[in-house]
Chain A
Amino acid sequence: MTDKEEERIRKAVQRISGNIGDLNEARQLVESGEFEKALSLYMQSLKGSVGGLSDLNLKACLEKLVQEYPPAREAFEKKRDQHESEMLKGRQSRWLIEEWTEINKALGEDYRELEFLQRLQQKPNGLDDFNAYQTIRTNLPKYLQDQRYDVLEPYLNRLGSMFLSHYSNYEIEVYFPQITSEDPTSFLLEEVLQEGPMIYEVCLGLQKISLAERIAQKIFAVSKTNETYRSMLTAARRAGHDEQIKILLNDAKKSLSKVEFEGIRKDFKI
């Protein structure tokens, strides 16, 4: 590494640490009710370099500030617009996108990502595949809760292929493991079982029944537990597919214990 590169990295670390420090302070100011000061600090430090995955609980703090101190809404809307204009100029940092998502959530604008994504993808250097997937994936539970399958249609292929890729990673680690210090299979299985029923529901909601059945087949090839059947039934019920519910119940009857199966019937009022 050259001296110039080292210096650039050192400055970046310093900048990010400084931002994290400011954001921590802003959080404490929100907690102690000093909203004006907190807002001012947030406006200075949200520069797209920290992201939403840190332990700063950004969304909850911003949300509280918006609720308790109404001028914060307009300020955060401006900040959000600034982040969007950076992205339109071609900046695609993961941290910037995560911060932008957190601000949208705090403002209660969960659908803004989808609309913006469509605008961005019309540009020649639109959002790359991974960032587009991450952005949609973050809000997927909310879109499903609202049964907004229509808005997900343009992203179905991306969601489906990412699920198959995660599924394949799990299969590979189980059957052809690499020697590593940590066994990744439980994490990968969790990912498959969390993501799979959601993709199954999107397919059902968009009337892509054979695709939904392929996804279901994969999920049940790796897990036939009470919990998995419940997730899949919740998905099929929300998507309004009685035929799929019947298929799932028939299968559950064969795979689960009598007590588990009766528990499902009772809870799902079937």
Chain B
Amino acid sequence: MTTTDDDSKTTVEQNEQVADGLRKSKDMLSKAKALVDEGKFEEGLVLFTSALDGNVGYASRFNLRIALSELLNKNPAAREPLSLKRNQMETMLKEGPLNRRAFEEEWMELNFALGDDYQEIELLKFLHENNQKSKHQVTILNLIKINFGKYLRDKRYKILEPHFDYLGRMFIGYQSFIEAQKLFPTIDRFSDHDDHSYRTITEEEGTLLFELGLALGKIEQAKLVARKIIDGLGSRAIFLKLLAIARRINQNDAYSFILSEAKSNLSIADFNILQSELSAIN
């Protein structure tokens, strides 16, 4: 594609505007945090609400959720204006198309600080009911993943049921991509950093998905997820984690399956230790 000088100038100007907006928002948030620390809650609140305009997101070095939670702890009156700000953002998200990740992340941080961890599920339900699912599907599901652990701790399995197949497809697709890169690499070398991310994702997301599958009675899917985890990690610790989940959910079939996998994959010594560890957690 050819670009003219004018096009390039426009792109450069746009980038500068974005960078400028980001700088201003970060400055405002820093000032807002300082005001809260000094006990000037109302002034802090005003700055916070004007700075949250989709420029910062949760990935910034500024720990937004903690700063907002502190403000709410010290000044409960901030709840109403922050809820209002969250609702305004949500209206914009519903109206879409608004795919600015940072914007959605700020909305998520507000939800977290307000203790409304189920808000994204509600938004997803709204988008689904209004045939707007595709607008934010991927982003919102990523946000769900962030709160996945909490939903499971709260045993809110049913709320995740409509998203189970999507989460499963993503997990199996990722596992296959990594397996292909390990066995038949077609892109750059699989680095130690990549391996670390892979192990973290497989253990964290995989075990959550395994638990969700068992809790929803989707045993074969849960077993497939477990097989992928075992193929990738296969340590005694991971077997113990999977067995503890199966026991907690009362899924004897899955429990026996994992135990038999452990027997064929671990050394006799390791398998004996695993059995002692299991007795200890009974």
* A interface residues, Cβ below 8 angstroms from B: 129, 156-161, 164-165, 167-168, 171-172, 175-178, 211, 214
Query: Cβ of B193 < 8 Å from any Cβ of A?
Result: no
Q: Which of A129, A159, A160, A211 has the most CB of B within 10 A?
A: A160
Distance from B70 Cβ to chain A, minimum over Cβ atoms (Å):
41
Distance from A180 Cβ to chain B, minimum over Cβ atoms (Å):
12
B180 engages A172 (CB within 8 Å):
no
Residues from chain A with Cβ under 8 Å of B139 in the complex: none
Q: CA A3 – CA B183 in complex, angstroms?
A: 49
- Which among A159, A165, A175, A211 is the interface contact of B221 at CB below 8 angstroms? A175
CB pairs A–B below 8 angstroms (6 shown): A157-B185, A161-B186, A164-B183, A172-B172, A211-B183, A214-B183
Q: Which of A156, A159, A164, A175 has the most CB of B within 10 A?
A: A175
Contacts A160-B183, A164-B184; A178 near B165 (Cβ below 8 A) = yes
Q: CA A158 – CA B184 in complex, angstroms?
A: 7
A164 engages B176 (CB within 8 Å):
yes
Distance from A121 Cβ to chain B, minimum over Cβ atoms (Å):
13
B176 engages A176 (CB within 8 Å):
no
B173 engages A168 (CB within 8 Å):
yes
**Chain B interface size range:** 20 to 34
Knowing that A160-B180, A164-B180, A165-B180 are A-B contacts, what are 17 other residue pairs whose CB atoms are under 8 Å apart, sorted by A's residue number? Answer: A157-B184, A160-B183, A161-B183, A161-B185, A164-B179, A165-B176, A168-B175, A171-B176, A172-B169, A172-B172, A172-B173, A175-B168, A175-B172, A176-B166, A176-B168, A176-B221, A177-B165
Q: CA A211 – CA B180 in complex, angstroms?
A: 11
Distance from B235 Cβ to chain A, minimum over Cβ atoms (Å):
20
Looking across the interface, which residue of chain A has its beta carbon closest to that of B171? A176
Q: CA A107 – CA B183 in complex, angstroms?
A: 36
Residues from chain B with Cβ under 8 Å of A157 in the complex: 184-186
Query: Cβ of B224 < 8 Å from any Cβ of A?
Result: yes
Looking across the interface, which residue of chain B has its beta carbon closest to that of A179? B165
Residues from chain A with Cβ under 8 Å of B164 in the complex: 176
Contacts A164-B176, A164-B179, A172-B173; A156 near B168 (Cβ below 8 A) = no
Distance from A62 Cβ to chain B, minimum over Cβ atoms (Å):
33
Distance from B167 Cβ to chain A, minimum over Cβ atoms (Å):
8
Residues from chain A with Cβ under 8 Å of B179 in the complex: 164
Residues from chain A with Cβ under 8 Å of B221 in the complex: 175-176
Residues from chain A with Cβ under 8 Å of B186 in the complex: 129, 157-158, 161
Q: CA A162 – CA B168 in complex, angstroms?
A: 20
Residues from chain B with Cβ under 8 Å of A172 in the complex: 168-169, 172-173
A160 engages B224 (CB within 8 Å):
no
Residues from chain A with Cβ under 8 Å of B177 in the complex: 165, 168
Query: Cβ of B220 < 8 Å from any Cβ of A?
Result: yes
Residues from chain B with Cβ under 8 Å of A175 in the complex: 168, 172, 220-221, 224
Give the residues from 157 to 197 in chain B that come closer than 8 angstroms, CB to CB, to chain A: 164-166, 168-169, 172-173, 175-177, 179-181, 183-186
Looking across the interface, which residue of chain B has its beta carbon closest to that of A168? B176
Contacts A168-B172, A168-B176; A176 near B165 (Cβ below 8 A) = yes
